[in-house]
Amino acid sequence: MKTVLLSAVLLVLGLPAWAHHSFAAEYDGEKFVTMKGVVTKIDWQNPHLHFYVDVTTAKGEVEQWKFEGFPPNMLVRQGWKKDVSLKAGDHITVTGWLARDGSKLAHSREITWDDGKKLLSGPPAGTGGN
């Protein structure tokens, strides 16, 4: 059974992740975050999806965060549909990794909508530096 599980893990890890640039060039794989907020804008573009989320902090301040994700061709293979899956006004929880430069930029991994729907929005972290 252990072998079967290992094979399954390897199969998942074996899927190539980064088509365009090194993860580690921009993002910190040690800084995994989960944020909740309201989507304000979606740029369905190559080489990366970008979407913007208003996140309310514990102090009640609203921060505007930007998230990077898969290109459109890979989003479609994850089950996404342009203008349908993610819309301005959606309440979402998004996971991802923070940018190295400390800006309000992160690389997204998965989005969960309030109704429980989930979609992967970006590849897993890679080091890109070894």
Partner 1 sequence: MTARSLAICILAAVPLYSQTPSKPPVPRTAAGKPDLSGVWQGGNLSFAIGEQNAARVSAPGGAPAAPAKPEPPPYTEAAMKIVQQYRDRRGIDDPAARCLLVGIPRITGMPMPFQITQTATQVLFLYEAFHTFRIIPTDGRPHPDDITPSFMGDSVAHWEGDTLVVDIVGFNDKTWLNGVGTFHTEKLHITERFTRVDYDTILYDVKMEDPEVLTKPWNQHATIRLRPEDRVREYECGENNEDILRFESLLKNENLFRKQ
Q: Is residue 30 part of the contact set for partner 1 (CB under 8 A)?
A: no
Query: For residue 124, what is the DSSP state?
Result: P
x-marked contacts with partner 1 along 86-125 as a string, rule CB under 8 A: --------------xx---x-----------------x--
CA 5 to CA 130: how far, in whole Å? 26
49-56, Cβ contacts within 8 angstroms, sequence gap of 24 or more: 49/75, 49/121, 49/122, 51/86, 51/108, 53/92, 53/94
With b for 16 or more beta-carbon neighbours within 10 A and e for fewer, the 9-19 pattern comes to eeeeeeeeeee
Q: Is residue 74 part of the contact set for partner 1 (CB under 8 A)?
A: yes
CB of 93 to partner 1, least distance (A): 25
CB of 4 to partner 1, least distance (A): 10
Contact residues for partner 1 (CB under 8 A)?
7-8, 10-11, 13-26, 43, 45-48, 50, 71, 73-74, 76-77, 100-101, 105, 123, 126-130
